[in-house]
A = this chain, B = another copy of it.
Amino acid sequence: MGVVKSKRMPRAVREQQMLDAAVEIFGQRGYMAASMDEIAELAGVSKPLVYLYLNSKEDLFTACIRREAAALTEAVRTGVRTELPADRQLWDGLLAFFTHTSRNPPAWSVLHLQARIHGEAFAAEVAAMREEIVAFVTQLIVVAAREAHRDPDLPEREVAGLAEALVGAAESLAAWANATEGVTARQSAATLMNFAWAGLGNLMEGRPWTLRDVPTEGTPMQVG
């Protein structure tokens, strides 16, 4: 009766349990402060088994980063349908992003905070994921420009900077939202969408960005 701590599980399952534990601990303590002892204990296995499967602390951390990076990009990719208009794609992407990060705070901590701090090797793993997202946003901006008028005079470098700023803002907001009580993924997405699309200037003059069919909670993003 009760939860039986079954032994002898297939390797794939054990590995996932270990990664779950590792993400949890790395997210809470940070890479250096996390101890393999604690991770093994939380995973419910002995330390040597962790080493047998994941090889070293570094490899374990890298495995965490890879798994969570893949999960996040997959979530965003799934949320976006490229046949829709650019602003709608951005909205859907943001919503998927904030939804995922808000559901996996330790994972987001690992990707956003920990991985960047501890060595170039780890940072590079995250950078790959990030570039994929930046590329997606960059392309969105280009498409939107094309949709808006026939003369796309935004130089490439400028577009890159804007995408960077937008992604950076999203990352910061995600961390802030996780740390702040009562902020929903939808609210975060709405705030950022307004900020990015309409700009403060427009917002203040009463002309926020609007998108039909999207039920909203944030104030300035008005449902038409």
Contacts and interface: CB of A to CB of B under 8 A. Distances in A.
A145 B205 CA distance: 7
A78 interface: no
A149 B197 CA distance: 21
B166 A176 contact: no
Interface in A169-184: 169, 171-173, 176
Interface string A11-43: 000000000000000000011110000000000
B200 A141 contact: yes
Nearest to A123: B179
A123 to B, nearest CB: 9
A114 interface: yes
Contacts of A148: 201, 204-205
A198 interface: yes
Interface in A181-224: 187-188, 191-192, 194-206, 209, 218-220
